[in-house]
Amino acid sequence: MNKAAIKKTLKNIQPNSKVTINAKRALYIASDVLELLEDFTNVYAQENNIQVKLRGFKYDYEHQEGREHTHIRVEHRSRI
C-alpha cells in the first residue's frame, strides 16, 4: 500500500459517504499506513459523517527489518 496514494484517496472522500477499506489481500501494511487509516477512521471520518467498514485486517503484521523481526499490532477502535 502506497501511503501517499492512500492519503490522497482518503482526502477525496466526500462527507456523508460510506466507505469500505478491504485489506484482505495485504500481506503486510506498514505502521505509518496503519496509523493513517486509524486516524482517518477515528477522527476525519467521524468529523465528516463518513461511515467506514474495515475488512480483512489482521490482528498484527510481521515484517523484517534487517535481521530483526518486529510486530505491528492493529487496534480497531472505530464505531461501525
Distance CA(32)–CA(29), nearest Å, equals 8
Which single residue is written with the C-alpha cell 493513517?
36
pLDDT greater than 90 at residue 64: no
Phi-psi domain of 73 (left: phi exceeds 0; alpha: psi -120 through 50; beta: other)? beta
Q: What is the mean pLDDT of residues 21-45?
A: 92
Distance CA(27)–CA(5), nearest Å, equals 18
Give the amino acid at 47. Answer: E
12-42 in b/e form (b: 16+ CB < 10 A) is ebeeeeebebebeeeeebeeebbebbbebbe
Write out pLDDT tens, residues 13-26: 999 999 999 999 88
The answer to whether the pTM exceeds 0.85 is no
